[in-house]
Amino acid sequence: MKVELSIEKVRSEFIEKIEEISGQNLFSCYQCGKCSAGCPFSFAMDLLPSHIIRMVQLGLQEDIGNSKTMWLCSSCLTCGVRCPRGVDVPRIMEALRVLVTRDKINYVEPSSLTPEQLEELPQIALISNFRKFTG
């Protein structure tokens, strides 16, 4: 029995949305791991950047949504510089955050923040958190 698997068969609506938002070809990544090896925040992530990319390639949207990795990506661009295929991982992470916030899933509930936390948080974090309520 011969099993044929092509990229066209693997593509899903989820993958197409991520590619559209990020402008990246997800199947350019061949899992070398250089993005994860160079990531300064990988110690705090539950899934490494290369694992997230692979999960996106497989269409595991729910598992990715439960991960904190996309929220910890600081978009420092270390991964993109190291990638031999030129995959811009921070753009993919941002696309994932956009899709999650479109679904109105809260990673941080604004009303649960204390006044002290509100003063400490960068303004851009607050703006990003409220962005889902404006569109």
Tens digit of each residue's pLDDT (9 = 90 or more) over 58-110: 989 888 988 888 888 888 899 999 999 999 999 999 999 888 877 655 556 66
- How do the domains of the chain map onto residue ranges? 7-103
Contacts of 52 (CB under 8 A, 6+ apart): 64, 67, 69, 70, 92, 93, 96
CB 49 within 8 A of CB 40: no
User: Which amino acid type is present at position 27?
Assistant: F
> Bigger pLDDT: 128 or 91?
91
At the fourth CATH level, the homologous superfamily of domain 7-103 is Alpha-helical ferredoxin (1.10.1060.10)
Rounded to an integer, what distance in angstroms lies between the CA atom of residue 64 and that of residue 14? 11
**Residue 57 in tokens:** 């390639």
Dist. CA 95–CA 87, nearest whole Å? 13
Amino acid at 73: C
pLDDT at 33: 95
Which pLDDT band holds residue 6 (cuts at 50, 70, 90)? low
- pTM for the model stands at 0.72
